[in-house]
Amino acid sequence: MTQEERDATAAAPDSAAGFQVRFEGGNAAFAAGSDEALLYAAARAGLELPSSCRNGTCRTCMCQLVSGEVAYRIRWPGLLPEEKAAGWILPCIAHARSDLVLRRDRPRIDWRQQRDQ
């Protein structure tokens, strides 16, 4: 094991301890370990979140990170740089690194209006 791997392991939170994940407005909350995707943690808690591909490509589960930190095990999730900068995440492949507050409202884009501009 390299020093970098040892440092990363030491810095990683204990996945058994878990983090509290809640949705803005306080409607639903669940615990998520750092070793599981948020989508699976929600399902384990009995919460059904929108999903389709479960690998970060379809964007069905996309929601906004209001507070907290997530990490991805893949190099670049299926988000545009602008979306990522605005806090959008993909719970099907995002892993909690702290307690989280999420917003489920996705931006409503009228592609016809953009096309006509």
Q: Percentage of residues in the chain with pLDDT exceeding 70?
A: 75
CATH number for 93: 3.10.20.30
Residue 103 CB contacts under 8 Å (≥ 6 apart), including other chains: 23, 24, 63, 64, 65, 66
Establish if 115 belongs to a structural domain: no
Residue 8, pLDDT > 60, answer no
Band (pLDDT 50/70/90 cuts) for residue 104 is confident
What's the structural domain count of the chain? 1
Residue 76, pLDDT > 50, answer yes
Establish if 111 belongs to a structural domain: no
Establish if 116 belongs to a structural domain: no
Establish if 78 belongs to a structural domain: yes
Establish if 112 belongs to a structural domain: no
Q: Which domain holds residue 82?
A: 15-106
What is the number of residues in the chain? Answer: 117
Task: State the pTM of this model.
Answer: 0.75
The phi and psi torsions of 31 (rounded to 5 degrees) equal: -95, 140
Contact 73, 40 (CB under 8 A): no
Band (pLDDT 50/70/90 cuts) for residue 105 is confident
Establish if 36 belongs to a structural domain: yes
Establish if 7 belongs to a structural domain: no
Establish if 61 belongs to a structural domain: yes
Note the pLDDT tens digit of each residue in 35-75: 999 999 999 999 999 999 888 889 999 999 999 999 999 87
Residue 106 CB contacts under 8 Å (≥ 6 apart), including other chains: 62, 63
Residue 108 has a pLDDT of: 54
DSSP 8-55: HHHHSPPTTT-EEEEETTSS-EEEE-TTSBHHHHHHHTT-----SSSS
